[in-house]
Structure 1
């Protein structure tokens, strides 16, 4: 708990006020002089905005049962989640759409996502990671016209995720991606409102794509809670037409 408090840059008094507990009791919890109840662990976790997976770890450390289950996406009990993901992916056709887990591993993709995966080295597709595929020299990087800008955007996004979650796997991924070449950041052409992905398709057409993210906000299972569905929508008419023609072939 102390590590999370320091990661959030809070004093004991600030956290105590935010969680509506006494600073003395919080001090006892952090030093191990008091064993917190389940309700107290969850209250402090909410005040610290600790991700669900790490909330489970705090509960176990306090000798309590985890709050959130974790089932594989292919588990029979996850049928409703799988169906929901598939419906969202299909709804975005003919535009590319991916479902990724908390470490950016691609777990599902629609047919149109082929434009994002074509020409990628086979070894990168064995355990496909969306960020690694995007920035690796044997992935999409050679085809991204604004690579410096897109690389900056993705790395900043991942840095924020590492800072919020404290996830060691994400930290390792960030260190790996920072070592890839990619050029410098340049000012985007849309006035700083949004960063487009400018991708050269295998037909030689430059596609301008905007990404949107959908999550399961009320999920009580970790697998569902940590899923993100990322769709790439056309930023101009030419891109929309090119993707529609590609899908119709």
Structure 2
């Protein structure tokens, strides 16, 4: 199975925000049709209804309608498949990522963007961040040079993680005294952050939009780890790291601010 990680962030002023939302009913429906079935077979997508973000939140007593914002790392189906469940949320994405969505169908197919997963009113609820919105990063995020202060209080910083997909975003935040960096698909397994090594050809083809950018982003994450040796770095698809986080924080909801 191929886990699709996402995160709930609770802020004392700005309420509940999701970072990505994994799969959902629209993604399951899409993967029953045409070439979408090939995607499911190749990546081993695992998205049972009880594993949807909305279902897991409801099990905690959190209604999907209480989610005020979803930060979208990038527009691959395993990161946006559940968006339709969050009808009250606004969306945040990088302008470079949104430009990929607006291209023609062949380009979108190559970029693994399924526009049928976006709510009908998506564009009207979308807030874009672009190069002009990023400022010099705080010292602990110097590896990324620039960051976007989502709430204006330093608690949740967006960083650019290009390579896997154009305009990919990560989230850096402070939780219970520990700094955490959610890196989406900047790497698929934490082992990639050890000794640098070249990805196999097939992995480079399937996992990277820009090979040089992917390698540069990995090196920036490694530098972040050196600068913050106690920090958590959490890839969206690394079962080992996701399980370790859950074991350490069995009732975890990311609370900041």
**Could you say which TM-score interval applies, normalised by the shorter chain?**
under 0.3
Q: TM-score, normalized by length of structure 2? A: 0.27
Specify which structure has the higher proportion of strand: 2
Specify which structure has the higher proportion of helix: 1
* Structure having greater relative contact order (Cα 8 Å, sep ≥ 6): 2
Q: TM-score, normalized by length of structure 1? A: 0.27
Q: Which has the larger radius of gyration?
A: 1
